Amino acid sequence: MKIFDRPGFPNPARIRIVLAEKGLEPQVEFVSVDLIAAEHKQPAFLEKNPSGVLPVLQLDDSTYIAESTAITEYLDNLDGEPKLTGKTPREKAVIHMMQKRAETELLDAVGNYFHHATPGLGADLQVFKSPEWVGRQEWGNRQRDKAIAGMKYFDAVLRGHSFVAGDVFSMADITVFAGLMFADAAGIAVPESYTALNAWRAKVSELPSVKNRSGQTFVTEDLRRLGF
């Protein structure tokens, strides 16, 4: 296995702690990525992880796993004896809840402060992090373009799979469906050329658990009241 990371940064540190806890460090080759030069935002790295964030785990079959929580889940369950992600449904639920809170209420908050209220990691990276560097409208347009690029990514995924994470409907499909619902309300249309994504959406819309439960009409009406 390979880990693409940069020592000393918070998310790479999380995975290095996981590896130590599980005794997996000898099985991993570490590949350093130059964050200061924004190497993780360049095309070569984005092929590994379209989100452009570290760390990324490369398996021996060349599968790439990004996002620290997903990497932790994989590593913790490799030996069938999870110790960090919970064993029972209750343990798993509480750990995932607290993990999300740790990210949004602490880690992400510090990151936003660092990138918006300090010089951060320098000019090469700040253009990807802070709207103050490019202007609010331009930043918003970049995020719109990012959303459309995300649609393109999932369209490509769905050309090879029935659902977002493989051959079965999962919470990943639910999240993408909700994202597209929000995109509709925000006026960001799914391009017609993304045929796999549009076909998947039509299929998911007809699932009993989704049909008449998406709340799309209500979301749209609420946004209209705000002037969208």
pLDDT digits (tens, 9 = 90+) for 8-62: 778 888 899 899 999 999 999 999 998 778 888 888 999 999 888 899 999 999 9
Q: What is the pLDDT along the chain (228 residues), one digit of tens a residue?
A: 999 998 877 888 889 989 999 999 999 999 999 877 888 888 899 999 988 889 999 999 999 999 999 999 999 999 999 999 999 999 999 898 888 888 877 777 666 666 666 665 555 555 555 555 556 667 667 778 888 988 998 999 999 999 998 898 887 898 888 888 878 877 889 999 999 999 999 999 999 888 866 555 445 555 555 555
Closest CA to 178 of 219, 117, 125, 121: 219
Q: 215: phi > 0 → left, psi -120 to 50 → alpha, else beta; which? A: left
The DSSP call for residue 40 is G
Helix/strand/coil for 192: coil
Burial class (CB in 10 A: 0-12, 13-18, 19+), 196: middle
Rounded alpha-carbon distances, angstroms, from residue 180 to 30, 148, 151, 160, 192: 36, 10, 8, 20, 14
CA atoms of 66 and 55, how far apart (whole Å): 7
Spell out the domain ranges in the chain. 2-77, 134-228
CA atoms of 60 and 10, how far apart (whole Å): 25
- Cα 135 to chain centroid, rounded: 24
CA atoms of 140 and 48, how far apart (whole Å): 25
Which tokens sit at 211? 């049909």
CA atoms of 4 and 60, how far apart (whole Å): 14
Rounded alpha-carbon distances, angstroms, from residue 75 to 22, 23, 68, 104: 8, 10, 10, 23
Question: What architecture (CATH level 2) is domain 134-228?
Answer: Up-down Bundle (1.20)
Following CA atoms 62, 26, 71, 101 in sequence, which dihedral angle do they give, to the nearest 10 degrees? Answer: -160
CA atoms of 189 and 76, how far apart (whole Å): 39
Q: What is the CATH number of domain 2-77?
A: 3.40.30.10
CA atoms of 180 and 147, how far apart (whole Å): 9
* β-strand pairing of 2-5 with 29-32: parallel
Whether the domain at 2-77 and the domain at 134-228 fall into the same CATH topology = no
